Structure 1
């Protein structure tokens, strides 16, 4: 299966799903979210797929949402493309491996929370700038991050919205290993193939058990965050923050309460 900006390839029972919009730093559009949701949903029911591998390019995993596309057609309910994408990845029963290098922003970071193994380029820059854009965390990150790294570290990343290094991501438990950018894809593929060669039912049951005790809360968190996120997109803080970002100026929040 291939879409203009999402390409999939099945080989050795590993389904590779690649962001393929390098000229826009793999910024995700509604059409890309739809293609991703369809790929993950199909993988769940395809017996030929044992592992899903998510990749970008060596210099860019994904810059997150394409803001122009996102603002033109903002998510408005549970059946919007981004919500279908989130649910399909969060509930994928087969193991998911990710190889991220270059930059990972916004959903490019939070989607890693729903992968089973993550390999990262050692020079990768990560960022979750939700608060600085006048919006709130998404993809169950407000639930998963504190449990992964503790409240203080999660609050620092989500409240300040500052970029952080791959080394910090490793220290916080967000990724499994750091590698030279040129080795990320090959390593992630090798790990995916290693899992694909193992007893498939044992792997699926192991993943189910790892996620069982939190999956219901993850799904609840996705919906609860999204309700706030969608409402906040239309509020003055977000309008000022996003306008300033698009205009390359410093936002002014001095008049807000």
Structure 2
């Protein structure tokens, strides 16, 4: 397992921590491989009842590592990113997340797959796909309209403007905000509370609430095809060139 992804099981909760502080926990191909492995292992491990995503040093994730991102067949069939997205969408146990600092791109869309999410007032959320010459990913083109309604989803995905924790709570992307000193503790307590529930009843109830995994997987595939096409476009190449020259 990559040290950039650290894990620990505490009280039946699998803690999954992004641990790349020098790059604001930007995700690389190797990190996606590790994340896929951890989720797949957790599905088989009866001791794990809940997964809990968090970032180190008060930082969730700045999104994909652009340099690494451009070197890989990003969303081709079998790619580490696509494998992770499918593992995430089809994970059959509750998922909790704690987000602070930047939660950009996948740092926001990952949260749409979670059951409970806690952040700080100053958490920086952003879905910059259109501004990068790309399109939504991680099933967000399906999940956001379903969760927020079309007009709010369009505002976030098309305008690509950043928003804070209070706005995320108002929109329904997160459950609540807490102070920078308490948000992880709040999220962990909720995760452990879930882990103490009757296991089978909790899992069945979650499946009934989230009876859309097939639709999400299809959305991920549709997005991946469009994303790959756009990534190879002159428009996106010019945008990324300027980004890397900064």
Superposition CA RMSD, Å: 1.0
Match of 1:107 in 2: 106
Match of 1:229 in 2: 227
* Count of residues paired in the alignment: 246
Contact 1:58 1:102 in 2 (8 A): no
Which range moved further: 95-104 or 238-247?
238-247
Using the size of structure 1 for normalisation, the TM-score is 0.93
Match of 1:20 in 2: 19
Contact 2:15 2:53 in 1 (8 A): yes
Match of 2:218 in 1: 220
Match of 1:61 in 2: 60
Shift of 1:169: 0.6
Q: The residue matched to 1:182 in structure 2 has which SS?
A: coil
Q: The residue matched to 2:181 in structure 1 has which SS?
A: helix
In structure 2, runs of 5+ residues without a counterpart are none
Match of 1:164 in 2: 163
Which range moved further: 146-155 or 134-143?
146-155
Deviations 1:27-47 (A, max 9, x none): 000000000000001101100
Contact 2:75 2:81 in 1 (8 A): no
Q: The residue matched to 2:141 in structure 1 has which SS?
A: helix
Deviations 1:5-25 (A, max 9, x none): 000001211100000001110
Contact 2:75 2:227 in 1 (8 A): no
Structure 1 residues 134 and 117: CA distance shift in structure 2, 3 A: same
Q: The residue matched to 2:107 in structure 1 has which SS?
A: helix
Shift of 1:76: 4.8
In structure 1, runs of 5+ residues without a counterpart are 249-257
Which range moved further: 182-191 or 61-70?
182-191
